[in-house]
Every structure is written in C-alpha cells, then in structure tokens.
Chains A and B, each alone.
Chain A
Amino acid sequence: MLEALWEKRALLVSGKGGVGKSTLAATLAVAAARSGRQVLLVEMSPDDDGPSPLAALVGARDEGPRVTEVRPHLSFVRLAASEGHRHFLQDTLPVRWLADAALRSRALRRFLEAGPALREMGLLYQMLTLVRRTLPDGRFTHPLSIIDLPATGHALAIAALPRTVLSLMPGGPIGRTVREGLDFLQDPARTAVLLTSLPEPLPVSEALTLASELERLGLPLAAAVLNRMPEDPFTPESHAALQRLLATHGPHRGTRALARLERARAAHARLAAGLHVPLLTLPELPLTGPELVERLADVFTPREAAEPTREAAP
C-alpha cells in the first residue's frame, strides 16, 4: 500500500479541520524520508501569516515560500500565492520587463491577491512549478511531494478551481495552466488523495461527504486514514461480559472512555462500509508535536526497515 503511494508524484492530504490532517501529512513525509525517498512536505494554506502548525511538526523553521531542508531526504515549503503569481507572470508574459513592471504595480498585486480565484491559482501554480522542477541530470528535484491541503472548504475550492476557472476564462494562459494542473491532479498515476478523519460520528459523516465530493471532482482518492483510534483492550467476549456487569452495577470509572471506544468502533465500521478505498488507522498516543509524528511514522515504517536507510544516509 505505502510503497505504491511513495511512487506517486504528489500525495494530497485532505480532511475537515481539526482531524489531524497536518499530523498525517507530517507523518507520511517522515515515513517516506526514512525509507529513503526524497520528500518535499508542502503546506498549502490560503493565508500565509500566523504560525505554521505543519512546520512545527517536523521541526522546520518556517522560512516563507522558499524550500528549506529539514533533515536528509526531507524538505519543507509553505506555498504562497504571491510566489505563484511571480512565477506565473514570468513564465507567461512574452517579455521579462513586462512581468517586472507588472509585479511592481501595487494595484495589480492587490488584484492578484484578492481577485476571483487568483489566490488559489497562485498556490496551484507554485505547486506545479515545484513539482516540475528538475535537476541538471533530468531527474525531478522533488520526486515526491506530500501536500497538506487547507481545511475542507478551501481544499475543495482549490480542487474545484480548475473547473470554475475554465468556465470563466477558457482561453489564455491561465486557462492553459489550470488545465495542466487539473490533468496532474486527476491523474491516478501521479496523484493520490488521502482522506483524514477521526473515529467520531460527526467527522465520519463529514468524511463520507468529502469522499463523494472528491469523486465528483474526479480526484483519485487512494486511501482513508482514521486518526487517534483509541486502544481497544477487549476481546468480544470480555466486552460483552463487562457490559452485562455495568448494566447490573451501574457506571464506574472508565465508562466514559468505554463509551468513546464504542463510538470509535461504530465510526470505524461506518467509514469502512461507506468507502471503496483501503482504510488505515493510526493509534491514539499520549504525545503531541514532533514526538507524535516520529512515533506515528513508526506505524508506517517500522524501525527495522528504517535502519539500513539511515546507515546509507548518515
């Protein structure tokens, strides 16, 4: 499963806010880097101010729109619409001085920042620029990008963007760019979308809705990941026996966690039944931040498998 994912050019991590989307993106990036892949972890947030939660998760200093190496095999970048606009104007306009002059115009910069779909377009363009970049020997600079999409609303805006833009401006360089972006995003050979959720009733409902939205937009959903799955210490028999005891003797300490566990199981079953793709789970651990990411990466890439790689790339 994972090996197939590592062969893609881009993994898009989607999900509603607060379900651990950034944690999953960071975890995948760390796991892929450990197994020797060259990974670019990408934050795609519609606003480029405020603290970057994703940078903190992998211990990257948030360097703005420049790619920075976090550790061997792992780099981080926070996309910025303005950077995408700059590349776009330079690539599109016939002469360099026109692009430079255009970028100096405050009114135009403001328009690009706030005009219809242009912010999302800028983010998409910077992403495409990074994905296409090659080394002198012709290999891709960033063979695998793992992209933390913004929370659902904006994520769908970015995914729906190509269609919207194409219906508004079918011709011209923007239309062309967006069509290329769409081809890339919809190509299951190059792109895989991962859907993140939590084992709770509401997030699962939202994940199912999001899955059908993604399908409608023609994006290749490859797997779903259920985050923070609580540990299940029961056997089916011991669970049934305990329920009988509690029914007779009333609630005891631990029943709150038990109710939560039962909700989580039901949510897991409902999500598994509602999706046509593999469903992975990540355990709930009493950790946060980079420690959590490192431990969760163990789930994807056990340390034994990771060791040789580390020796190979000290």
Chain B
Amino acid sequence: MSARNLQRLLREKRVLVLCGAGGVGKTTTAAALGVAAARAGRRVLVLTIDPARRLAEVMGLPESGPEPTSIPPERLFADGPRGPGQLDVWMLDARLVFDRMVHRLAPSPEAARAIVEHRVYRFLSELVAGVQEYAATEALDGFLADARYELIVLDTPPSRHALDFLDAPGRLSRFLDERIVSLFGPEDASRGGRLWHGAQVLVGRVLDGVFGAGFAREMRGFVGAFSGLFGGIRLHTERLRARLASPDAAFLLVTSPESAALRESAFFRDTLVKRGLPFAGYVLNRSWAREDALANPEALLEHVGDDPHAEHGVAALSRLAAAEHARAESHRALLARLTEQLPTGAIAVAAPDAGAELEEFRGLVRLGDALAAG
C-alpha cells in the first residue's frame, strides 16, 4: 500500500518538498525521486542546494549554472526504451536568484543597479539569516509558473532542524518588516506621530552608538533603496505559502536511522499539520530493514579446508552477520514506530542503504526504483 502511495505522489503532485536535518541524505533522496518520476514519464525538475560534489558529478551537473541542466535521455533511460519523461536539475545559486528578483521587482533598471551594487547587498546572502531558504522558495515560485515542468522536487537547504526551511522566509520577511524599514528609512514627519518619532530618534542613537555612525548610515541607504521591493516580496511569500498548503504539494521528511529521528520527526509532523501544510510521510534513509535471502556464513566452513586464516575469516564474517542482523532489526523497529505515528494517508518508506552504488547514475536509478516500489 505504501508503495502505491509513493508512486502516486510521484505521479500526481506538482511539488514535493524534502525536509530533514543535515546529513540524512536528503539531496540523494531528492535526486533519486526525481529520477524515478522522470522514468515514469513526467517532466521533472530537481531543485537542489549545495549537493555534495560527488553527487553533482554523478548527475552530470556543472558546479553551478544560470539555468537547469538536462540529464541526457541516454543516461536516464540507459537500461531500456526511452520514455516521454525528462529530468532537469538545477543547483540553486542564491545570489543569482536574488539578483533576478531585484531586477524584476525594482521600479527601474537604475533602482535595481543601486541595490545590487550596494555594499550591504553584497554581504546580504552571507549575513541575513534565511537568504538561502528564501532564495529556494523564490526559485520554486518561478519554476511553478514554468510550463516546462510537471513536477518539482525541492531539496531544502541543510539545517539542523527540518523546520528551518519553513521558518526562514518568515525570518527574512521579518527583517524586511515595514517597521524595521521605517527605523532606517528617511524620517517622515507625516506618519506615526510623536511617539513614533521618539522611537526613531532612540533607535538612531542606539544604532549609532552600537554600530558606529557609518554603518547605520549605510543601512539607511540600503533599506531606502530596497524598500520599493518589499511589497512584491511579501506577495510572493504569501502566494507560495498558499501553493505549498494546497493538495498539489506534499512534504516528505527524510530521516536516517542513526539520527535521533523519532522525536524530531514527530515534532516536524505536528508542526506541519498545525500550519495546514500537507504532510505526506517519512523516508527512512540508508535503511537495512530489508533482509537479503542469503546463506549463513557458516555455510562457507566446508570450503575452509585446513587454512586457519580462512576459518578465522569465516568466524569474523559470522560476527559481522550478527551485527548486520541486529542493525536490520533495529531499523525495522524504527520503521514500525514511524508507521505507528502516521496520520491517515501518510506513508513511511525505507530507502535501502546504497553504499558505494551512488558512485554511478545507475545507483540513483536503483534507489529511485526501490523507493517507488516501497
């Protein structure tokens, strides 16, 4: 049943958002799901942030480019007939996304240039919390309007808490809050009255005192130039929020068996549900839950002869087999507990530990197939 469901997600959704703490294999999972959906016939874009270099090489991605890269069909369909599906991958370049946004939203090319060339702006992506995350949502918004793609798989930026991605745009828009803007904006006698004026003077003294008058002046200049864009940015954020809350979207949480997965997973699920976002389920990555139908190591003993090293080797393999079994058991127990906490309609899928296989594109194909097959 879970298999059908994950296949259904790949077949029917417009957006799959993959969340998860850093190091759980989120990017690999996003890539494998994109591969599976494309091989099943859809036109797919995988939007990824900072993929490990090796994975980028496996996918055939350039370091970063201004446009998505297409995976050649001969690679996507290496093992069979070509289907109608198509897979593009784009490694998100936060600076580029921001530059484009500024140029689109600014009232004039000169205004856009004034922002992009400002000293504060050059530091923006390093400095303002949530810029990467905001850029991801901004890029997603753009690609959703793009008829080239039927499904977008979004790999969210690495973070400790799976929820960072959801909160960051909010954090950024709080920075772009009008009240803050007006603190730095030119003094406007017509608004706010004396109380407001008082606050502005106070904040001016604090900022000059704390940051030095030079920086406060620069911030004022920057915020003044940027303020024309705030309306547009807020509109985007709201539109995207509505989109992500619609049944077109699905959120999957990727966890690994090692991470203290359960507590955070439950927390994540509850928060999604509370915010009215469609929680689709869990992917338990690098799982050993599936047991191979193989012979026991002891079967090798009859071939050992009188080689003591071989005998020792087989005994060592037996110990490894016992450890392997214990590991598989604990992963199965974890999967069972994740399944227990599922809301109706949600799924929990185990993705096999692909080990060294991911050195090749074929490994992604196999991982995608395994995921879709549940």
Assess the B175–A152 pair: CB atoms within 8 A.
Answer: no
Assess the A173–B355 pair: CB atoms within 8 A.
Answer: no
A137 interface residue per 8 A CB criterion: no
A158–chain B nearest beta-carbon distance, Å: 11
Residue-wise, chain A 103-121 has the 8 Å CB interface mask toward B (1 for contact) of: 0011110110111110100
Residues of A with C-beta under 8 A to B179: 106-107, 110
Residues of A with C-beta under 8 A to B123: 116-117, 164, 167-168
A259 interface residue per 8 A CB criterion: yes
Complex CA distance for A45 and B264, rounded to whole angstroms: 15
Given A113-B174, A253-B321, A260-B355, are A56 and B260 also a contact pair (CB < 8 Å)? yes
Residues of B with C-beta under 8 A to A119: 129
Complex CA distance for A294 and B112, rounded to whole angstroms: 57
Assess the B297–A252 pair: CB atoms within 8 A.
Answer: yes
User: Interface size bucket, A side?
Assistant: 35 or more
Complex CA distance for A16 and B52, rounded to whole angstroms: 12
Assess the B304–A17 pair: CB atoms within 8 A.
Answer: no
Assess the A169–B214 pair: CB atoms within 8 A.
Answer: yes
Interface centre among A105, A113, A238, A253 (most CB of B within 10 A): A253
Residues of B with C-beta under 8 A to A249: 299-300, 303
Assess the B210–A89 pair: CB atoms within 8 A.
Answer: yes
Assess the B256–A254 pair: CB atoms within 8 A.
Answer: no
Given A114-B174, A152-B158, A258-B320, are A241 and B199 also a contact pair (CB < 8 Å)? no
Assess the A233–B319 pair: CB atoms within 8 A.
Answer: yes
A47–chain B nearest beta-carbon distance, Å: 6
Residues of A with C-beta under 8 A to B172: 114
Complex CA distance for A206 and B300, rounded to whole angstroms: 38
Interface residues of A in 123-139 (CB under 8 A from B): none
Residues of B with C-beta under 8 A to A93: 206, 209-210
Complex CA distance for A276 and B362, rounded to whole angstroms: 36
Complex CA distance for A173 and B208, rounded to whole angstroms: 10
* Closest Cβ neighbor of A177 among chain B residues: B210
Interface centre among A19, A94, A105, A168 (most CB of B within 10 A): A168
- Pick from A18, A164, A238, A288: contact of B316, CB under 8 Å: A238
Assess the A252–B317 pair: CB atoms within 8 A.
Answer: yes
Residues of B with C-beta under 8 A to A110: 174-175, 177, 179-180
- Pick from A53, A228, A258: contact of B258, CB under 8 Å: A228
Given A152-B158, A164-B123, are A89 and B206 also a contact pair (CB < 8 Å)? yes
Residues of A with C-beta under 8 A to B205: 98
Residue-wise, chain A 236-258 has the 8 Å CB interface mask toward B (1 for contact) of: 01111111111011011111111
Query: Which B residues lie at the A interface, using CB under 8 A?
Result: 21-24, 50, 52-55, 119-120, 123-124, 126-130, 132, 157-161, 163-164, 167, 171-172, 174-175, 177, 179-180, 182-183, 199, 202-203, 205-206, 209-212, 214-215, 218, 256, 258-260, 263-264, 267, 288, 292, 294-297, 299-300, 303-304, 307, 309-310, 312-327, 330, 353, 355-356
A53–chain B nearest beta-carbon distance, Å: 6
B65–chain A nearest beta-carbon distance, Å: 21
A205 interface residue per 8 A CB criterion: yes
Assess the A18–B258 pair: CB atoms within 8 A.
Answer: yes
10 contacting pairs across A/B (C-beta < 8 A)? A108-B206, A114-B129, A168-B119, A168-B215, A231-B323, A245-B300, A245-B313, A252-B296, A253-B292, A255-B317
Residue-wise, chain A 159-180 has the 8 Å CB interface mask toward B (1 for contact) of: 0100010011111111100000
Residues of B with C-beta under 8 A to A238: 309-310, 312-313, 316
Given A151-B23, A206-B52, are A17 and B158 also a contact pair (CB < 8 Å)? yes
Instruction: Determine the main DSSP class of B at the interface with A.
Output: helix
Residues of A with C-beta under 8 A to B300: 242, 245-246, 249, 252
Complex CA distance for A19 and B52, rounded to whole angstroms: 15
Complex CA distance for A252 and B294, rounded to whole angstroms: 5
Interface centre among A107, A230, A234 (most CB of B within 10 A): A107
Residues of A with C-beta under 8 A to B325: 253
Query: Which A residues lie at the B interface, using CB under 8 A?
Result: 16-20, 45-47, 50-51, 53, 56, 88-89, 92-94, 98, 101-102, 105-108, 110-111, 113-117, 119, 150-154, 157, 160, 164, 167-175, 201-203, 205-206, 228, 230-231, 233-235, 237-246, 248-249, 251-261, 263, 286, 288-289
Complex CA distance for A157 and B205, rounded to whole angstroms: 28
Assess the A114–B128 pair: CB atoms within 8 A.
Answer: yes
B83–chain A nearest beta-carbon distance, Å: 30
Complex CA distance for A172 and B215, rounded to whole angstroms: 9
Complex CA distance for A240 and B263, rounded to whole angstroms: 43
* Closest Cβ neighbor of B28 among chain A residues: A202
B267–chain A nearest beta-carbon distance, Å: 6
Residues of A with C-beta under 8 A to B203: 102, 105, 107-108
- Pick from B163, B303, B307, B324: contact of A257, CB under 8 Å: B324
Residues of A with C-beta under 8 A to B177: 107, 110, 114
* Closest Cβ neighbor of A111 among chain B residues: B180
Assess the B320–A261 pair: CB atoms within 8 A.
Answer: yes
Given A50-B163, A238-B316, are A169 and B174 also a contact pair (CB < 8 Å)? no
* Closest Cβ neighbor of B202 among chain A residues: A101
Residues of A with C-beta under 8 A to B320: 233, 254, 257-258, 261
* Closest Cβ neighbor of B179 among chain A residues: A107
Assess the B211–A169 pair: CB atoms within 8 A.
Answer: yes
Residues of B with C-beta under 8 A to A202: 52, 54-55
Complex CA distance for A224 and B52, rounded to whole angstroms: 20
Assess the B313–A242 pair: CB atoms within 8 A.
Answer: yes
Assess the A18–B22 pair: CB atoms within 8 A.
Answer: yes
B250–chain A nearest beta-carbon distance, Å: 22
- Pick from A88, A171, A261: contact of B214, CB under 8 Å: A171
B312–chain A nearest beta-carbon distance, Å: 4
Interface centre among B160, B215, B288 (most CB of A within 10 A): B160
* Closest Cβ neighbor of A173 among chain B residues: B210
- Pick from B24, B161, B182, B316: contact of A242, CB under 8 Å: B316
Residues of B with C-beta under 8 A to A242: 300, 310, 313-314, 316-317
Complex CA distance for A170 and B199, rounded to whole angstroms: 26
Assess the A256–B288 pair: CB atoms within 8 A.
Answer: yes
Residues of A with C-beta under 8 A to B130: 114
Complex CA distance for A28 and B67, rounded to whole angstroms: 46
* Closest Cβ neighbor of B199 among chain A residues: A105
